[in-house]
Structure 1
Amino acid sequence: MTQSFDTPLPPPKERRRLRELGSLTQAQLATRLGVSRETVRAWETGRSTPSGRKRESYGKLLASLAAVEPPAEVTASRSPEPAPKLTAGLSEPGSNPEPPTPASSTAALPPALTPAQAFDALYAFCAPALVRQAYLLTGRRELARESVEQAFQVAWQRWPEVAVDPDPAGWVRATAYEYALSPWHRFRPRYRHPEPPPADASDRALLDVLLTLPPPYRRTLLLYDGVGLGLPETAAETEASTPAAASRLLHARSAIAARLPDLAEPQVLHDRLAKTASTERLRAAKPPAVRIESERRARFWTRAAIAITVAIIGATALTVHTAPTRYEPPVPPGETVPGVPPRAAPGTLSTAELTLRAKLRAESGDGPEKLLPEPR
């Protein structure tokens, strides 16, 4: 007699919801089931499905979590709690980082929010961690804050698109990274000189090594070892293939381990990244200020576009008004007529001509005297 392990499982999004309902991280759930965290992540995203005894254990665990779910009336009567800060970007040392996924991003937003309220909730959810991440990418505090504010300003201008994105936190993170790593910042006068380094010697050493890495390697390392994304997600966000992202990650780890051997372990490196970013006082602007600045820039560029369009229309109308209405053939260039000798240029004067010219110039203005016959 054989035992069947074809246990029914809820959809992937429901699996993640039940895990979060039980206050379990992916790492804790993986430890209970005896699998890796990557496997749990694949089950919750629908990339794979467990089978055999793992399926049976997973189904029983989810069923037990669903059994303790409070009724809908109780959850509806509770006052909404403030959205927690997004510490997945750079979690506190010693914790298990959770990658920001679509479910975790939308779970912090209460239903029936206005666009401004939803934007403010996303900003409060993501901005603190994004500023720390941008600081590790650039080594500049002001540029880190500017990158995050710029990313959220673009997000507010394109909010209908960002609001329905499966991962709005990832959308904003990718925009902030692109702005922070732009090579055009080196031509700005305020960024030609380095900022004061961190006070701690170990933080300075880590930041120096990070800044020596090429920007794609630095970004890949931060996403995988700092944020905690999986390798496929890291490759997708850096617009590279999975083997290329893995190669960048290995080279970045090797470069750091060569200069800082105590950071050879990934978990130790993650803790140090979080510690280095958390020691700096990096404060982001308030959400209303970001929205107001975004709207001000949108109005400015709209007016500029209207002014340029009016100028083009005016120039076109002036050209049409002043343009000739009939064809006027151009004047042909001069041609040499055959048989006509060219005009000779005057040459130098001879001695006799010079003498005559001097004699003429020496005479009075009334001309030479008249010759009269002498009387006899």
Structure 2
Amino acid sequence: MPPSADPADPAGPVDPVGPRGPADPADAFDELYKSTRDRLLLQTWALTGDLAAARSAVKHAYVVAWHHWRKVSRREDPEAWLRPHAWAYAQRRHTARLGHRDKDLDPDVQATFDALAALPAGQRRVLLLALLTQVPSDELAREVGLTREEAERELRTAGAAFTELRAVPSGEVAALLEPLSAAVADVRWPRPTILRRSGSGRRRAHTAAGVLATVAALVVSGVVVSDDGVRTSLDRAATGQRGETPAGRGVAAQPPLVADALLSAEQVRSRVQGTGWTERRTDGNTEGDGTVLPCQADRYADPRGTAALLRTFAAADPGDGPRRNAWQLAEASRNERAAKRTFRRSLQWYAACSEPRVQLLSTRTVGAVGDQAMLLALRSWSRPVRTTVVGVARTGLLTTTTVLRVGNDARPDVAGGTDLLADAVRGLCSLPDGGSCVGKPEPQLAPPVPVGEVPSLLSEIDLPPVERVAAPWTGSPTVRADTNPAATPCDRTTFTGGGISNNVTRTFVVLDAGLPTEFGLSETAGSLGRRKANAFVDGVRRRIARCAEDDLTTEVRRLTTSDTRREALTVWVVTTELSDETTVRYHMAVLRAGTAVGQVGFVPGGRRTITDEAFVGVARRALERLHEHPAPKKAP
């Protein structure tokens, strides 16, 4: 019987009855497999120098491709989907020096591997993509996570280094790889039906695991016995033990997560400060209430996911130095939609951290790390003061969170946090459910993640600590701005009439701290047409400027000002002498973000105040959030 008619072959996403037509999925897969496997093997062998690891990786890439054939087959170039997966699997399976397993290599071929091994991994990838594929320059750059200019620069550097190491002219570089092509032509491959059976078995195992994972009692018990007596693991911890498929056909289903894919203590040690980093625990986070990480709101960001793993680290006791801890949580979701939702929920844990006296210092997007990645820096002002750098990333169906916490108020280790997140994604992206891997990480400052009932207004997490006060800020409900508590006696700004809409206000106070009733920070915002919004800000500026001239008991000091077409900001300190013994000091800012306008005011309680610098930071954060304010409503 010919392989294509094998009755044991599950036939993949569509199992037609009768003769197969030219659009049959199995035929399309078989054709792709036969036409591309030697090219992929040559590429992965050149990448690693390990022929056995390369062959295993290429086979696994085709198994996963059949698992996801509906998605892969719709791509204009399915080989472009296979290649990064095969390369990632090959690098994960290969751990030793290039060429280490192939003892009978021709000396010239070994010299080529030695030269490739001397190149940094990124340069080696760029060089091999240029030499062994027909990928256009833009696609090549995207595949390695670089801009086109950066990729071209890396290619020139790699080419120059490689020709120098091999002592050949640049025109002869491609010829050095020809002996590898001849070698891979003799490699024996399994029939495509075998790979399709493995892919179909893998799909059934994932589907069964997803259905059974919803049965809480079975998840807690960790195993279920099917009608035919096959014992299948349902342990969400995904310890790395591979169970049989429910059909019991001997096809091993790789769990969505394995412990070996998580960060190691050595990686943490190489990326961040601190000595004696050790791994403390690795499990599925099934014990206790599950809130192990700082700011973690729930046990899992995806309570219906297929697997989860938690690993914790600690540095050695620093004596008088700051304590350091690190965590990684990884979760596997059922599909891409669920994974994107898991990423958003994980991010929200930190963007809206519910721990008291936690302040969001900065937010960054991280390019070229997985499919989505962000980095947040936070500081807890409760004693002992702690600084935390959190990374959240998604690669395919897998979401990971890395947390680095240091027991002091030093500058957040953004570089270390970025590297740690990139390493975490590198470990996960080569798993079957992984997606994009890691190029050159590019952290870029970004607006804060929208949080709260009204995302365009400040939240508690945006506010700095109050000097001489240990209690947290508490925000009032957001209400319509019929009055404006952010105004000063100098400007008396209102947010009613004049075509303003979406006018809201909110006040923050510190409860149970013995502060005077006037203490607090208020923000008011509204929407106007662009010209009216510009005029609104100019009007506040004029009134504040005249205040000191008209009232000799008032002093006005401008802290900062800026103007662009997109936004405007001015921050002042206004001091008014009410009597010889009494002086009132206000911080006030006026701001515009497109068609949204806002005002922020702060009244201290004597020496219990915030610094000028801290208030400027609050005003800038308010401006960042104000871009979320709705556009002005049209008059009826």
Q: TM-score, normalised by structure 1?
A: 0.48
Q: TM-score, normalised by structure 2?
A: 0.29
Structure index of larger Rg = 1
- Relative to total residues, which structure has the larger strand share, 1 or 2? 2
Higher RCO (CA-CA < 8 Å; seq separation 6+):
1
- Relative to total residues, which structure has the larger helix share, 1 or 2? 1
